[in-house]
Amino acid sequence: MVKKAIGRIEKLPVEHFKKPGKKLYLVPLLPIAESHEKGLPKDYPAKLEAYWKEVSLRLDDLGSKVGKIHKIYHELINEKGEKGLKRIKKLNGKSYRIVKRYVEKGAELQATEDMNLVRESMDWIRCLTANLQSEKALSKVSQFYVEAMQKRDEFVAKRINETLKENESGIIFIRENNSIEFPSDIEIFRVHPPVLDDIRRYLRDFYSKS
């Protein structure tokens, strides 16, 4: 499996995108946070808007090079088609606009996650934020959370392997701290606009203070 960061997509020759094989473009999902949230820089929403604008432009540029996007995958979505699209709209309006545009062009939105595993991981998160007093309990809960997240990522990898066919291209919208081992026959391109580095610093400072 080859991984490439796509900052300025034009640096990669067009011929590269025309090579046969499976291709998957990875778009990091970022926290949706409001500017009034305590400690968050006031210009974070503007940075976030800039990020999604750049992502959209880069994916458009990809479309001009690689042609049709066949499959769309999105974190927290366990239904395909219109039902999945409605779910994305409720979760993240910014990624929804991009997904909707590609679906209208003929891309298929795939069921990406197992909701039982999603619920389990979220329950362990709630336990971790419950101010546990016992170090042993905290260690156990942390272990269970990590195991649940690993199972989620394994399920996503399996879904992609089952649905992305030879010579097809797809886009996956997924959290940055995933541990997905993508199938070895898929070439991975990470969409990485320059503003993403600024946002990472903002979030790192914000969460360290929190």
pLDDT tens by residue, 128-142: 988 888 999 999 999
For residues 92 and 60, what is the distance between their CA atoms, to the nearest angstrom? Answer: 20
User: Model-level pTM?
Assistant: 0.88
Query: What dihedral angle (degrees, nearest 10) is formed by the CA atoms of 195, 99, 207, 139?
Result: -140
Is residue 66 pLDDT above 80, yes or no? no
Q: What's 37's DSSP letter?
A: S
Lowest mean pLDDT among 1-5, 39-43, 74-78: 1-5
Q: Which residues of 156-195 are buried (b: 16+ CB within 10 A; e: fewer)?
A: bbebbeebbeeebbbbbbbeeebebebbeebbbbbbbbeb
For residues 210 and 90, what is the distance between their CA atoms, to the nearest angstrom? Answer: 26
pLDDT tens by residue, 151-202: 999 999 999 999 999 999 999 999 988 999 999 999 999 999 999 998 888 8
The CB density around residue 11, as the number of other CB atoms within 10 Å, is 8
Compute CA distances 124 → 113, 128, 179, whole Å.
Answer: 17, 6, 18
